[in-house]
Amino acid sequence: MDYNLRDLKFFETVATLGHVSRAAELLGRSQPAITKCIRRLEAAVGERLIERDGQGVTLTPSGLLLLERARPLLQHASQVQQELRDFSTGAIGDVRIGSGLSTAAHVLPQICARLLQQSGIRLQVLLGTNVGMRRELREGRIDLLIGLLPPDPDLRTVPLADDMVGPAVSAGHPLAARGSVTAAELMAWPWAMPTREIPSRQWWDRRLQDLQLAAPAIQMQSNSPALLLGIARLHDVIVFTSHSMLPEGLVALAVPELAMPREFGVALRREGYLSPAVRRTLELLESDGQALFQYQP
């Protein structure tokens, strides 16, 4: 079989967009040229790869398999081209960074500011859930993931800072003046919590079961850490949040039974090309990481 990388790239674009005409427009080619590429691939495979329907195209089982195999090949080819360009020009270049929402709200601005002090580095920053950003990293759409470091066999992780998540309240909350408080006592108060797909919420739910505590009244749930912290400053609810990133007006409650340790750092793919810019970014994060992960109001 003889596969042309350009044909594979055109096929991937058609598969991603689900439409030949949109792929042709994006690639700057005519529809007949795109169709001809698909036909060459089908001849090489000996199977139909796409089926046309009224809304566009769908992939056949053979098409789905080819797409799965082609994407890593195309990503590797792109990395080789970029590596050769960097070598020939001595360029530093772009760094594509992904981050979870909590990290973005509290520490990402100072990290980006530090990186932008380096001549020649340009940043592209994408935000999303930690699960979604790990997928973006594995599929090569970002170079580095900055934030929490859950176990993932596909990724290499570099720990940079320790963190502790626990209950917190506003400075005016009745519990703020208490010298000590137990987990059981906190269950009598209303809470504002992350939604259930957030890892800290999942830990909290499991911890209450381990402690055999009935869940408290949860007055509000959100996947936005900034929103939960804002509500806690204005209303007498308990939030479960990072104790190292508390904004002004919130007070951490020392409750050992509800203290969740975690690590912040940077994750990258185990395999793949690291541009000079990405390598320089890693060096900066490793040397200054602990200071960069301190909350700046």
- CATH value at residue 58: 1.10.10.10
Do residues 233 and 179 share a domain? yes
- CA–CA gap between residue 287 and residue 284 (Å, rounded): 5
Which of 70, 87, 104 corresponds to the end of one domain?
87
Residue 129 pLDDT greater than 90, yes or no: no
Tokens of 254: 């020392």
Percent of the chain with pLDDT over 90: 34
Beta strands in the chain (DSSP E): 50-53, 56-59, 93-100, 121-128, 144-148, 155-170, 191-194, 218-222, 238-242, 250-252, 260-269
Which of 68, 87, 106 corresponds to the end of one domain?
87
Do residues 250 and 284 share a domain? no
Residue 291 pLDDT greater than 80, yes or no: no
Give me the pLDDT at residue 75, please. Answer: 78
pLDDT band at 160 (very low <50, low <70, confident <90, very high): confident
Return the CATH number at 276.
Answer: 3.40.190.10
Residue 295 pLDDT greater than 60, yes or no: no
**Averaged pLDDT for residues 264-280:** 84
Which residues does 133 contact at the CB level (< 8 Å), separation at least 6?
Answer: 98, 99, 100, 126, 127, 142, 145, 147
* Most confident among 11-15, 138-142, 188-192, 282-286 (mean pLDDT): 188-192
Element (H, E) at 153: none
Do residues 251 and 176 share a domain? yes
Do residues 40 and 181 share a domain? no
Do residues 38 and 80 share a domain? yes
Range of the domain at 30: 5-87
- CA–CA gap between residue 157 and residue 145 (Å, rounded): 9
Instruction: Please state the pTM of the whole predicted model.
Output: 0.62
Residue 297 pLDDT greater than 70, yes or no: no
Which residues does 135 contact at the CB level (< 8 Å), separation at least 6?
Answer: none
**Which carries the bigger pLDDT value, residue 81 or residue 89?**
81
- CA–CA gap between residue 96 and residue 144 (Å, rounded): 7
Phi, psi of 26 (to 5 degrees): -65, -40
pLDDT band at 275 (very low <50, low <70, confident <90, very high): confident
**Averaged pLDDT for residues 163-180:** 92
Do residues 21 and 96 share a domain? no
Do residues 113 and 137 share a domain? yes
Whether 297 maps to a domain, the answer reads no
Do residues 267 and 139 share a domain? yes
- CA–CA gap between residue 156 and residue 147 (Å, rounded): 13
Do residues 114 and 71 share a domain? no
**Averaged pLDDT for residues 177-191:** 92
Question: How many structural domains are present in the chain?
Answer: 3
**Averaged pLDDT for residues 73-89:** 71
Do residues 40 and 57 share a domain? yes
Return the CATH number at 198.
Answer: 3.40.190.290
Do residues 70 and 155 share a domain? no
CA dihedral 281, 226, 162, 198 (to 10 degrees): -100
Do residues 185 and 110 share a domain? no
DSSP letter, residue 173? S
Whether 247 maps to a domain, the answer reads yes
Whether 237 maps to a domain, the answer reads yes
**Which carries the bigger pLDDT value, residue 121 or residue 295?**
121
Which of 25, 59, 87 corresponds to the end of one domain?
87
